[in-house]
Structure 1
Amino acid sequence: MPLTVVVGGFFGDEGKGKIVGYLALADRVAAAVRTGATNAGHTVVHDGNVYKLRALPSAIVNPHTRLYIARGALVHYRVLLEEVEKYNARGRVVVDAGTGIITDEHVERERRDEHLAKRIGSTLTGVGAAMVDRVLRKLALARDIPELRELTGDVQELVWSHLDKGDSVVVEATQGYWLSLYHGTYPYVTSRDTTASAALSEIGLGPRDVDDVIVVFKAFVTRVGEGPLPGEIPPEEAEKLGWVEYGTVTGRRRRVAPFNIQLAKKAVRANTATGIAITKVDVVFPEAKGVREWEKLPKEAKKWIEELEAELGVPVLFVGTGEEVVDTIDRRREVARR
């Protein structure tokens, strides 16, 4: 049952989309399932194309991969349909009939909520309001939306079918461990759990279905919105280091801090990680830009990664060295030989 779950280890924006895109191509993944909601944007760059995805899985870069949206996810149906048309994905996409639907009314409710806007720093994309309606059992589902009728199906059954045939399946979770409603920096969190266990629950899978859990970290930490960020550095220092980034969905500038080993340790343990991916290594170590072989990585970058690996107690299987999906060092064979 070759199922891999990809989750974030910090506050989101770690590069999960890049890793899912890489796996889709390198492992010829048969299906990818996106969990979470459309308040999280994943950016994937491949062959000169930039995919900014709020609903579809980042495995879209492999034209042969089926693209599924989990039953426990929440999507704004217009956002979904726009992505399906923009990226010519019709025929590959299946939305579970039970997927929750965000409406303009949910967005308006959030925009009127000063607590969310000013104190929490919410993206105000209607996700929290839709989650409230889901809990109260009055939320519209994908099966209720005529425009989605051709796209709906039973994603749980489809994934089971893939696993029974031995197909490779990737689960793409959203945001990061420290934004979990239960385990993150409450109240400065998102409206759902963001762990690997929660992603499986949204699809309807169990722990024994899983082969690997890849926790993705960036080589530095970023956070959008309010809430604690240990070791946060001033904006001017971030500019000098070249660590300036902006959110995919909101366009807001991300707050920045150096890599935090304590936050990483807890994320690794809570997600029962079997492997780690580190992205944006080229931003911290510019000489690593575009390197795709471990032997050619700068010595200081290698040393830093090996020290992280030793402290976290889990192998670093993937090293991201550029925006392009294939600018990735894949260490799985090397680790397997140890």
Structure 2
Amino acid sequence: MANIVVFGSQWGDEGKGKIVDMLAEKSSAIVRFQGGNNAGHTLVVNGEQCILHLIPSGVLHPGKKCLIGNGVVLDPIVFCEELDKLAEKGLDVSANRLMISKKTHVIMPYHCLVDSARESTKSDSKKIGTTGRGIGPCYEDKMHRCGIRAGDFANKELLLEKIEKALEEKNVLFKHLYGVEPVDAKAIYEQVLPYAERLVPYLGDVSSAIQKANEKGGQVLFEGAQGTHLDIDHGTYPFVTSSNTVTANAASGSGCSPRDLDRIIAIVKAYTTRVGGGPFPTELFDADGDYMQTKGGEFGATTGRKRRCGWLDMVVLRESVRLNGPTELAITKLDVLSGLKELKICTAYKYNGELVDYPPQEQNGMAYVEPVYETLPGWDEDITDAKSWDDLPLTARKYLERIQELSGVTVGIVSVGPDREQTF
């Protein structure tokens, strides 16, 4: 069976959770390979909404192994809260089916404090729109080689020692740069200890779990968070997340070989949205943008923040294709466009007097581009009951065909509503 990577091709919020949930049915294991609880996947099954932040979306399917890879940064408090909520729904969240890599770095309370203190000192124009959940500071500690890893939770003496070491420098910053009270290492230790004890049974070797699943002929599904243009290297820096969101990180973030990645699915919202700061060339400030925002229910699953909305940007998508090499596209929220008389697609940018097909590589270059549009006819029909290509209005099919032509990638999946069944 071919392994599958699912990635977001825009700025996140493309509907990855729903597609992962659908594909999980035929997978034996689902792996989350990067990001933290700054991402939220909203699933709707039989009309009931379920929002996940850390645990892979496949948890809604009984018997599926759900793995959290080493590329993730895990908030133990959020993880335990998520376990409890899923257990209340009657789902099996035991260590028999959930595993956390011992190499996964852990978000500590002082990471959240650094995040909020740092952002509060910036002017509005300098804010990057962080969720304040300690994601960036945790990744910083990982690179600084002073991070707490999930495996450390099994060794209490080592855990306290590493907390003390991590706070030596941070307490200087808290006191002298951010003007907040220093943090007591022992208090932090006591705060996280109950959660650490709950996490220990879930610790394991995710690399081996992936290998065993493949050896048994099972399909492994790799689930990313956020989107390509929030990638720390390839996104709209500095308005990005703190990890690599591109498909190449599916291997390094979970502990397997790139040769294990077979089918790569780009999740593409039928229009474009973005949360937080940063350039957004096709952003709309008119009735069409309001229509998408309202009809699409465009609010962040994690933050509740209103999402900025705009026309589909093929320059952004073209770059995602180049960086990720998708074998197919999954178009989501196509139903949201029903009722718009005309649809626009950004096919190129004008930048420094030239026509460009890919985003400028200079920092903040996308803030100075002018989108070049082509216009297509819309449709009025309600498509939420569509079960196949032939059920779509001709103009909807033409819209999808144009996306295929401009991206060079086949549309393999279409979603026409939030429920699991509204996909073909």
TM range (shorter): over 0.9
Per-residue Cα deviation, 1:113-140 (whole angstroms, up to 9, x for no partner): 1367842111111000111111111111
| 2:417 is the counterpart of 1:322 | yes
SS at match of 1:328: coil
For residues 325 and 141 of structure 1, what CA distance do their matches in structure 2 show? 35
User: Over the residues paired in the alignment, what is the CA RMSD in angstroms?
Assistant: 1.5
| Aligned residue in 2 for 1:44 | 43
| 2:305 is the counterpart of 1:252 | yes
Unaligned runs of 5+ in 2: 88-92, 154-195, 339-380
Per-residue Cα deviation, 1:72-100 (whole angstroms, up to 9, x for no partner): 21010111111122113223211111111
- Which residue identity lines up with residue 207 of structure 1 in the other structure? P
Q: Residue 326 of structure 1: CA displacement?
A: 2.1
Q: Alignment length, in residue pairs? A: 327
For residues 122 and 132 of structure 2, what CA distance do their matches in structure 1 show? 8
TM-score using structure 1 length: 0.93
Change (3 A) 1:55 1:235: farther
Q: Residue 322 of structure 1: CA displacement?
A: 0.5
| Aligned residue in 2 for 1:299 | 394
Contact 1:282 1:321 in 2 (8 A): yes
| Aligned residue in 2 for 1:148 | 199
| Aligned residue in 2 for 1:68 | 67
| 2:144 is the counterpart of 1:136 | yes
| 2:130 is the counterpart of 1:122 | yes
Percent identical pairs in the alignment equals 35
Per-residue Cα deviation, 1:157-210 (whole angstroms, up to 9, x for no partner): 100111111101100001001001100100000111110001221011222111
For residues 22 and 162 of structure 1, what CA distance do their matches in structure 2 show? 19
Residue number among 268, 278, 283 corresponding to 2:336 in the alignment: 283
For residues 301 and 66 of structure 1, what CA distance do their matches in structure 2 show? 37
Q: Residue 227 of structure 1: CA displacement?
A: 0.3
Contact 1:110 1:116 in 2 (8 A): no
| Aligned residue in 2 for 1:16 | 16
Contact 2:332 2:415 in 1 (8 A): yes
Per-residue Cα deviation, 1:138-168 (whole angstroms, up to 9, x for no partner): 1111122322111111011100111111101
Contact 2:224 2:245 in 1 (8 A): yes
Per-residue Cα deviation, 1:224-264 (whole angstroms, up to 9, x for no partner): 00000011101654223434511011111001111111111
TM-score using structure 2 length: 0.75
| Aligned residue in 2 for 1:332 | none
For residues 92 and 117 of structure 1, what CA distance do their matches in structure 2 show? 45
Change (3 A) 1:235 1:116: farther
| Aligned residue in 1 for 2:236 | 185
SS at match of 1:292: coil
Unaligned runs of 5+ in 1: 330-338
SS at match of 1:216: strand
For residues 158 and 10 of structure 1, what CA distance do their matches in structure 2 show? 30
**Higher deviation after alignment, 241-250 or 159-168:** 241-250
**Higher deviation after alignment, 121-130 or 111-120:** 111-120
Change (3 A) 1:117 1:97: farther
| Aligned residue in 2 for 1:336 | none
Change (3 A) 1:202 1:117: farther
Contact 1:117 1:124 in 2 (8 A): no
For residues 243 and 237 of structure 1, what CA distance do their matches in structure 2 show? 12
Contact 2:71 2:104 in 1 (8 A): yes
Per-residue Cα deviation, 1:257-277 (whole angstroms, up to 9, x for no partner): 111111111101210111110
| Aligned residue in 1 for 2:27 | 29
- Which residue identity lines up with residue 269 of structure 2 in the other structure? K
Larger Rg: 2
For residues 150 and 50 of structure 2, what CA distance do their matches in structure 1 show? 24
**Higher deviation after alignment, 87-96 or 230-239:** 230-239
| 2:206 is the counterpart of 1:206 | no
Residue number among 105, 108, 113 corresponding to 1:100 in the alignment: 105
| Aligned residue in 1 for 2:181 | none
